[in-house]
A and B are shown apart, each in its own frame.
Chain A
C-alpha cells in the first residue's frame, strides 16, 4: 500500500490512479484536513459563546456534524486502497458508501432531534435568556459576541466547498461531493443564527426558535438527501455522475464501442458504481453465432479498460441473445 503523500503510484484496490486523480486525491485530503482544522477552531469559539440561544446550539451541532464527511472521506480513502483479497474479491471500494451512509444517518437523526427540540421550545414559549459578558474590563451583551463569531465563521466553508466540488468531479467521489455541497450552503446557517440572536436582541424571543427550526430543517434535509444517495449507491443503482445528476456517460461509451466491433452483433452492459471505480458486466452477442477468438475478447476488454481509469473490474460475456432479465430498459446509457 502506498501513501498519498509519497507521490508514487496510488491504487484504489487494484486500480492505479492516473496522475490527474492522484493529484486530486492529494489536494482533497489536504482540503479535508484544512476543513477539520477550521472546524476545530469554530466549534471551540461557538461553544465559548453558546449561551442560551437555540439557534446557536443548532448551528454548533451542525458544525460538529460537519466533522463527519471529512472523517468519512479520509478514512474511506485509506481503506479502499487495500487490494482485493480472498474474503473480499471485489475489493474495499464500498467502504466509501458505508462511510457515506453512517454520516448521512447521523445527520438525519441529529436534524430530527434539533427540529423537535426547537419546535418544543417554540411551543413552550421558553424565552431565551442572554445576559452580559466581561470583555476587556467592560460588560457587553453576549449576543454581540455570538453574532460576531457566527459572521466570522460564515465565509471560509464556502470557499472550501467550491474547491472540493471540483475535486469531487475529478475523483468521482460522492462523499466529497456531499461534503462540498454542505460546505457551500454553510453560510446560510451562520446568517440564520445571526438573525436568531439579533431577534432576541430586539425582544423577539421567537426569532431564535424560528432560526433554529430553519437550521434543523436544513440539517434534516441534508440527512435525507445523503441517506437516499448512499442507500441507492449501496443498492447497486446504475452508475451515475458524481452529483447523481445523470447516468454516467461511460455506459453508453462502452456499449457503443462493443457494438462497433466487427465480431459483435449486439452488446449491452450493466454497470454499478463501487464507490470510485465501476464494476462492468458486458453482454455481447457475437455476429453469425460464431464465438470470437480469445485474442479478440481480450483486446476488446483492454480497449474498454483504457477508456477511463474507473473501468478496471470488467467482464465480457458472449451470449446467444441479450438476457433482458439482467438488462432492463432500452440501453445501458440510460436513454428512455
Chain B
C-alpha cells in the first residue's frame, strides 16, 4: 500500500511539473484543436432529416453549399469561430464513425443522439438540444468527436452550450 502511495505521489508530482510547461489544459493527445485552428476542420456529414441535408451526395468534392441543415449550420459557425475552412465528407454513420476512430475526421454530424452505439469509436459532446420522435421518446442530440481529444471537445462543448443557451 505504501508503494501505491508513493507511485501516486510521483505521478502527481510529474503532473504538476508538466502542467507548469504551459500549453492548454486539457490538452489533445493528437493536437486536433491546434491543427484545426486556422486550418481545416474535417467534418463527416450523415444525411438525417432536418439535421443534415446533402444536395449533391456522391458527386466528388462537396462544397459548403451542398451541405445544409441545422447541424451543418452549427458546424459551419464553429469552423468560423476557429478560423478554419471545412472539408466535408458524406457517408453513413458507420463509415464516418470508423473514419473518426482512425483519425480521418475531426467531427461527425447527422442528428446523432446520446444513446448512439458509436461510443466505442467516438467521443460525445454534451447534449445541446432535444427532439421528440413519433413514439414520443425524447432524444438528446450530440455530435461525435475523436476519442480523447479533450481540448477540441471542450471547445466544441463551450460553443454548443452557447447555442443551447440561445434556444
Chain A contact residues, CB within 8 Å of chain B = 52, 126-134, 137, 139, 141, 143, 185, 187-188, 191-192, 194-196, 198-205, 207, 210-211, 214, 217-218, 221
Contact = CB atoms under 8 A, between A and B. Distances in A.
Interface of B: 1, 4-5, 7-9, 11-12, 15, 18-19, 23, 25-29, 123-126, 145-151, 153-154, 156-158, 161, 165
A162 to B, nearest CB: 15
B62 to A, nearest CB: 27
Contacts of A217: 4
A88 B57 CA distance: 79
B125 A131 contact: yes
B147 A126 contact: yes
Contacts of B1: 185, 188, 218, 221
Contact of B126 (A131, A202, A207): A131
Contact of A194 (B12, B28, B29): B12
A200 B9 contact: no
A127 B125 contact: no
B29 to A, nearest CB: 5
Nearest to B122: A129
B12 A191 contact: yes
B126 A201 contact: no
B123 A192 contact: no
6 contacts: A127-B146, A130-B26, A132-B154, A143-B26, A192-B7, A202-B27
Nearest to A199: B15
Contacts of B158: 132, 139
Nearest to A211: B11
B12 A132 contact: no
A131 B123 contact: yes
Residue from the set A127, A131, A192, A204 with the largest chain B CB neighbour count within 10 Å = A131
Contacts of B150: 129-131, 141, 143, 200-201, 203
Contacts of B145: 129
B74 to A, nearest CB: 15
Contact of A188 (B8, B126, B146, B153): B8
A74 B12 CA distance: 37
A129 B152 CA distance: 11
A134 B161 contact: yes
Contacts of B23: 203
A124 B145 CA distance: 18
Of the candidates B11, B149, B151, the one having the most CB atoms from chain A within 10 angstroms of its own CB is B11
Interface centre among B148, B150, B154 (most CB of A within 10 A): B150
A195 B158 CA distance: 25
Nearest to A185: B1
Contacts of A199: 11, 15
Contacts of B125: 131
Nearest to B151: A203
Given A141-B150, A187-B5, 19 more contacts: A126-B147, A127-B29, A129-B153, A131-B153, A131-B154, A132-B153, A139-B157, A185-B1, A188-B4, A188-B5, A192-B7, A192-B11, A194-B12, A195-B11, A200-B26, A201-B26, A202-B26, A218-B4, A221-B1
